[in-house]
A = this chain, B = another copy of it.
Amino acid sequence: MRQAVRILDVPTPGQGLHEITAEVAAWVGEQEMTTGLLTLFCRHTSASLVIQENADPAVRADLQDWVAQVAPESRNWRHQDEGPDDLPAHLRSVLTGVQLSIPLIGRRLALGTWQGIYLFEHRKRPHRREVALHLLGA
C-alpha cells in the first residue's frame, strides 16, 4: 500500500457549486491504484464540499437557494467585520461539510451514476480555494 497527496487549486467566480469531478478523477487515475480510499478536504471555513446530482443544473440552483434560506444573511449575526456574506458562509460551510472520502474500487471512484463532486463557494466575490487530496491504496 502507498499514498499520494496533492493540493488542488480551485478558482471560484462567486457563490455556487463548481464541479471538480473530472479534475479529481484524472489525478486519481494517474496514481494507478486498483483499490483505495480518496479523501478531499476543503482548507477554508467559508466554502465546502458536496456530492450532488450532475445532470439537471436546476438542482444546483435550488441547492444554492436552499442554503440561503437555512443560513440567511442577517443583521443579527454578531460577526459582521468581513461583510454580510461572511458569517452566513461559515454557517453554510458547517451545514454542508468540508470533507469527503470516496472508496476506489476496480480502478474507479465508487461514485454513483448521477453523483458529481462539487466545491461549494459561499462568498460572493471570486476566491482561490485549496482542496487537499489524499489517496491511499494499492
Contacts and interface: CB of A to CB of B under 8 A. Distances in A.
Interface in A73-100: 77-79, 81, 87, 90-91, 93-100
Contacts of A44: 112, 114-115
Interface in A12-66: 35-37, 39, 41, 43-45, 50-53, 56, 58-59, 61-63, 65-66
Number of copies: 3
A73 to B, nearest CB: 12
Interface of A, helix, strand, loop or mixed by DSSP: mixed
B103 A79 contact: no
Q: Which among A41, A53, A114 has the greatest number of chain B C-beta atoms within 10 A?
A: A41
Contact of A91 (B62, B110, B130): B62
